[in-house]
Structure 1
Amino acid sequence: MTADTLTSVLATSDMLEIDGLHAFDFELNAEKLLVIAMDGRAEKRWSFSLAQVEAATFDDTLQSWTLTGDSGEHRLICFNAFTGNNNDEDEADDDA
């Protein structure tokens, strides 16, 4: 994977892995990146300023981003998901 910037990769990502936890709930806006994940029953939250996101570096060996926030250094992996069709019938039959 050749990465441009974390900001551009996040724009097309559907899921993240941060410090080994999978997070579907994340938001990048003009001010910050907010990531929410569950660790067992405990909710964990990470918040990074836009400047911290823009300063993130990509590690080619580990295929992940190193992101330094107020709580220290974090490892972030971005994923793109795909959706399947649960219909057992052909698409032509959908109009019937």
Structure 2
Amino acid sequence: MTTTPTTLLAALEATTMLEIDGLHAWDFSLADELNIECMDGRERKVWRFSKAQVEAATFDESLQSWVVNDGNADHRIICLDAFTPSDEDDSVQD
């Protein structure tokens, strides 16, 4: 059983991919604010959350997701670990 981080900020620092409102997003950054971008078909979707909004996020145990409000609506974020290949060449050298 894995342990859920106590804050969304801690979860974001350890994740490689997000699901936000049902869409997968690997293009996200966390600095002064959380910026998330992804494509929904041909439409580019962008979300921006202030650090205060990220800190105010709550974890929904029943849906295993974080709920963060951008001032207009609640958004559900699930932190995922995506497979990332190594840059090293794993071939055997003779």
Is TM more than 0.5 here? yes
The aligned residue for residue 32 of structure 1 is 33
Find the aligned partners of 1:13 and 1:2 in 2 and give their Cα distance.
12
The alignment-based identity, stated in percent, is 50
Q: Aligned Cα RMSD in Å?
A: 1.9
Within 5 Å, which residues of 2 pair with 1:39-58?
A: 39-58=40-59
Find the aligned partners of 1:92 and 1:38 in 2 and give their Cα distance.
32
Compared with structure 1, are the counterparts of its residues 63 and 50 closer, same or farther at alpha carbon in structure 2 (3 Å cutoff)? same
Aligned residue type for 1:27: S
Compared with structure 1, are the counterparts of its residues 71 and 37 closer, same or farther at alpha carbon in structure 2 (3 Å cutoff)? farther
Within 5 Å, which residues of 2 pair with 1:1-12?
A: 1-12=3-14
Q: Deviations over 1:2-50 (max 9, x none)?
A: 3311001101111100000100100001x10000011110000000000
Find the aligned partners of 1:18 and 1:62 in 2 and give their Cα distance.
13
Aligned residue type for 1:15: M
1:67 maps onto 2:68 in alignment: yes
Find the aligned partners of 2:90 and 2:53 in 1 and give their Cα distance.
49
Q: Deviations over 1:49-89 (max 9, x none)?
A: 0000000000111000000003311010000123457xxxx
Number of equivalenced pairs: 90
Compared with structure 1, are the counterparts of its residues 92 and 24 closer, same or farther at alpha carbon in structure 2 (3 Å cutoff)? closer
The aligned residue for residue 21 of structure 2 is 19
